[in-house]
Amino acid sequence: MSIIKAEDNKKWINFFVALISMLCGYLVIKFLGQMGEWFDLEARISYFIGVSQGIGILLGLSVFLIVKKNETARDHLDEVYSELVKVIWPDSESVVKSTIGILIGLSILSLIFIAVDNGFRWVLNTIY
């Protein structure tokens, strides 16, 4: 059973591109803020915080527009979405069973490593 429907592709692609654009804008704002701290740009440039936020917003909008206008990017995202629709997600019962199995296996492996470590420590303490 697929969670995502094939007819919702434009909505999800637009959401994904908007999310990536916001992430790019946020990273630019954070980067410029860090550069401002390092080089004391707040004292040298008036309204530095507003300027850095404006640059971040403009970059985010430009990323959104570039991706939406680029034919190759749109085709690629359409193909990715069409493949994502084909994915069959596991039900919650099998996820819980797999998680419990992994936790049990990791616990057993951890106990084996602890036993080996304590064994080597005991051997080294008796030798030295």
The amino acid sitting at 21 is S
**Which residue has 């992430």 as its token pair?**
23
CA pair distance 60, 66, nearest whole angstrom: 10
DSSP string for residues in 67-122: HHH-HHHHHHHHHHHHHHHT--PPPHHHHHHHHHHHHHHHHHHHHHHHHHHHHHHH
- Residue bearing the bigger pLDDT, 3 or 86: 86
Model confidence at 101: pLDDT above 70: yes
pLDDT for res 4: 66
**Each residue's pLDDT tens digit, 5-26:** 667 888 989 999 999 999 999 9
pTM for the structure as a whole:
0.66
Q: For Cα atoms 29, 34, 36, give the angle at the middle one, nearest 5 degrees.
A: 95
What residues contact 99, with CB distance under 8 A and at least 6 apart?
A: none
C-beta of residue 42 within 8 angstroms of C-beta of residue 48 = yes
Model confidence at 49: pLDDT above 70: yes
The whole-chain average pLDDT of the chain stands at 93
Residue 122: other Cβ atoms inside 10 A: 10
Confidence of residue 2 (pLDDT cuts 50, 70, 90): low
**Each residue's pLDDT tens digit, 51-89:** 999 999 999 999 999 999 999 999 999 999 989 888 888
High-pLDDT (> 90) share of the chain, %: 80
pLDDT for res 85: 86
- The pair of three-digit structure tokens given for residue 86, joined into one six-digit string: 């084909």
**Domains in the chain: boundaries:** 1-89, 91-128
Q: Computed from CA positions of residues 89, 93, 98, 99, in that sequence, does the dihedral angle turn out positive or negative?
A: positive
